[in-house]
Amino acid sequence: MPALPDICFSILLDILVIYYIYCDELFTDKTISFIFFPKAVAPKMFIYFCVMGILNLINFLFSMYQHRKNNQIRNSKNYLSSKYQLEEVYESTKFSVSVISCHFLLFSLYIVGIGILRYFGSKIIPDSIDLMACRGAFTTMISFNNLVVGVIAVCLNRKMKQRKRNSIKRTVRIKTTGNVGAQNYENQIFRIWNSTLKMH
């Protein structure tokens, strides 16, 4: 659970970003649109999106580096006590890298789409009303991107859990019926007796 100073810092940072983006806007229009950014705000908003894209790229690169290091550590340690713990760390890092890469890809496509519509939109769509409608529809796509990332994260999580369950079933499965089952039972009993005798 985040601490109160972290929450306050996050709120303050959000307020400063919103102030920086809208500080030059006079809001002289009769209506305020939540889809279209005013003319004074649009360049700053585009810069903000580009900075967010760069931060997403940095996050993605660091996550890939961490995933690679976790893979190296997992392959270098052979102790049984640390093997399963390292496997869990590796799997969680793999999951986060997959989700981060998906988010980075969708957000990058969003930024490229905004840039194309902003600077080349009139050449692609000559009618200004159609262009405005297209830009408005495209601006609302960021919430759709977040929905897609959420769905992909849930599907990935289910797939990883299923793979882990199958792996455990393959590893732990031991035959318990018939002649083979009787032999396995006898072997386990002898192991217990031998380990008890060695302790005494």
Any idea of the CA torsion for 117, 118, 122, 124, to the nearest 10 degrees? -20
125-162: pLDDT as tens digits: 888 888 888 887 877 787 888 889 989 999 999 998 89
57: CB partners within 8 A, 6+ apart: 104, 108
Give the C-alpha distances (Å, rounded to integers) separating 188 from 30, 77, 175, 181, 197.
82, 28, 12, 11, 14
Q: Which percentage of the chain shows pLDDT scores above 70?
A: 81
- For residue 198, pLDDT over 70 is answered with no
Q: What is the pTM of this model?
A: 0.66
pLDDT confidence band for 99 (50 / 70 / 90):
very high
- For residue 19, pLDDT over 90 is answered with no
Contact by Cβ (8 Å): 134, 120: no
Q: How many whole angstroms separate alpha carbon 140 and alpha carbon 146? A: 11
Q: Tell me, what's the pLDDT at 87? A: 80
Q: How many whole angstroms separate alpha carbon 146 and alpha carbon 31? A: 28
65-89: pLDDT as tens digits: 998 988 888 777 666 667 777 888 8
Helices (H), 77-177: 80-124, 128-139, 141-172
